[in-house]
Amino acid sequence: MPYLRRRGDIETSEVKHVGLATRPRAAALADRIAGAWRGLRVGAEPTPPGSDPDLERRLAAVDVRLSHMEDALEDLQDALYRQAMREDETRADLQKRTEPKRIAEALSADARRRGL
């Protein structure tokens, strides 16, 4: 399973695999989560909505904050996309201007204009 890294850190052909020591921890975590889920479903009485006004207020505040964060993330993604498009256009323009044929034409036109 490949892991995330910054560009240029390590060759892209290198891959880091999850070690065997990690698998039992992941399985133990999955067992704990499954046990907690079963415990909630089997033994506990569901709490009626609105039974804890403090909890409801806190959840509403978290919902509002999460909504703002989602909006900010979308704005950031849009800005990053626009910036990437501008950089792609700039890179393409620079690549066109540095083609040998274009450089030769520009030098030739400059030499004619100066009378060389």
Residue range 37-87, pLDDT digits in tens: 676 666 556 556 667 888 888 888 998 999 999 999 999 999 999 999 999
Same domain, yes or no, for 78 and 113? yes
Give the residue numbers spanning the domain of 86: 52-116
- In percent, the amount of the chain with pLDDT more than 90 equals 40
Half-sphere exposure of 94 (CA within 13 A, CB side): 6
Q: Answer yes or no: do 30 and 75 share one domain.
A: no
Q: What region, left, alpha or beta, does residue 75 occupy, with left being phi > 0 and alpha being psi -120 to 50 degrees? A: alpha
Tell me the pLDDT band of 23, cut-offs 50, 70 and 90: low
Residue type for 80, please? L
- Structural domain tally of the chain? 2
Is there a single domain that holds both residue 67 and residue 96?
A: yes
- Do 35 and 56 have their domain in common? no
Terminal-to-terminal C-alpha distance of the chain: 63
Looking at the structure, tell me whether residues 32 and 81 fall in a common domain. Answer: no
Judge if 63 and 83 occupy the same domain.
Answer: yes
* One domain, residues 57 and 110: yes
Q: Both 39 and 63 in a single domain?
A: no
CA-to-CA distance for 48 and 54, rounded, in angstroms? 14
Sign for the pseudo-dihedral over CA of 75, 78, 82, 84:
positive
Task: Looking at the structure, tell me whether residues 60 and 102 fall in a common domain.
Answer: yes
Is residue 27 very low, low, confident or very high in pLDDT (cuts 50, 70, 90)? confident
pTM: 0.44
Identify whether residues 98 and 115 lie together within a single domain. yes
Token representation of residue 18: 């999850």
